[in-house]
Amino acid sequence: MDSTARSPRTVIVTGAAGGLGRAFAEAFARRGDLAVIADVDEAGAQRAASAIVEAGGKAIGVRVDVTDANSARELAAAAAAAGDGGIDVIVNNAAIYATLTRSPFEEIDEAEWDRVMAVNLKGPWQVGRACSPLLREGARIVNIASATVMSGSAQWAHYVASKAGVIGLTRVMAKELGVRGITVNAVAPGFTLTEASHSLISHAESYGVDRGSIKRPIHPDDIVGAVEFLASPEAAFVTGQTMVVDGGRQFL
């Protein structure tokens, strides 16, 4: 894998056994960083890490339940121990998405609502606070929200609300961590072609394309660049922001 001349960073990516998370982890590894692939699917995390190592990169797979404080602390400790004692980047990507049941907001199962909030919103908070003591000055946190927050999506209230909460959390964390030179931003992807998206919608390849300024589907690599930028030294004065990456399907 290609690397740059800068010192390698320790980068945690949650929900990285597959989909967007894995694409993020692979991109950081190509830059010479240590990718800490964190997922509730431990076997999947180990497979993703092994693939990166086989390609010449640095990675470890770690099981994490982002809803659990002890599990989040164990992730933070494992990441620091695998690197040089600190954490440089967190990408809070873990979320419940493809398995959700689309229902009118009055009919959403309460247990499903609570689980979505626990993973999608509580998760970034748990991981952020567990890692906070180990974050270096100038560290970067990128929370993955969703462009559907800006447009709304019928029969999807729990998912949309959870991702709106991620944007709010991002702003508060930016205020609180800025004194340490740590930036916190959100990336809000449009409907991106991942395994999860294909399982969710039969016509995933064409979904939303007609609404875009750029008339093609969104691929994981389209989102990677925004995350890499917000995690880079060049974004040192960008914080508390939400970057929508959807090919111009909507404008803020």
What integer is the mean pLDDT of 167-173?
Answer: 98
pLDDT at 193: 72
Flag whether 87 is in a domain: yes
Q: Considering its fold, how many domains does the chain have in total?
A: 1
In a domain? residue 251? no
Q: Can you tell me the mean pLDDT for 208-236?
A: 90
Residues identified as active-site: 159
Looking at residue 1, its pLDDT comes to 45
Evaluate whether residue 91 is within a structural domain.
yes
DSSP 94: -
On average, the pLDDT of the chain sits at: 92
190 domain residue, yes or no = yes
Distance of alpha carbon 21 from alpha carbon 15, whole angstroms:
5
Q: Judge whether 24 and 18 are in contact, CB under 8 Å.
A: no
Asked if residue 66 belongs to a domain, the reply is: yes
- What average pLDDT does this structure show over 221-239? 97
Please indicate, yes or no, if residue 4 is contained in any of the structural domains. no
If you average pLDDT over residues 220-244, what whole number do you get?
A: 97
**To which residue do tokens 């964390």 refer?**
173
pLDDT in tens, 20-49: 999 999 999 999 999 999 999 999 999 999
Average of pLDDT values for 166-195? 93
Written as one string, the DSSP assignment of 234-249 is GGTT--S-EEEESSSS
Query: CA torsion angle for 132, 80, 77, 44 (degrees, to 10)?
Result: 110
DSSP strand E in 31-182: where?
Answer: 34-39, 58-63, 87-92, 135-144
Which stretch of 32-41, 209-218, 243-252 has the lowest confidence by average pLDDT?
209-218
> What digits encode the pLDDT tens for the residues 55-68?
999 999 999 999 99
Residues 6+ apart with CB under 8 A from 51: none
Assess contact for 46 and 60: CB atoms under 8 A: no
Look at residue 5 and tell me if it is in a domain: no
Domain of 236, CATH number, reads: 3.40.50.720
Instruction: Name the residue range of residue 175's domain.
Output: 10-245
Share of the chain above pLDDT 90, in %: 77
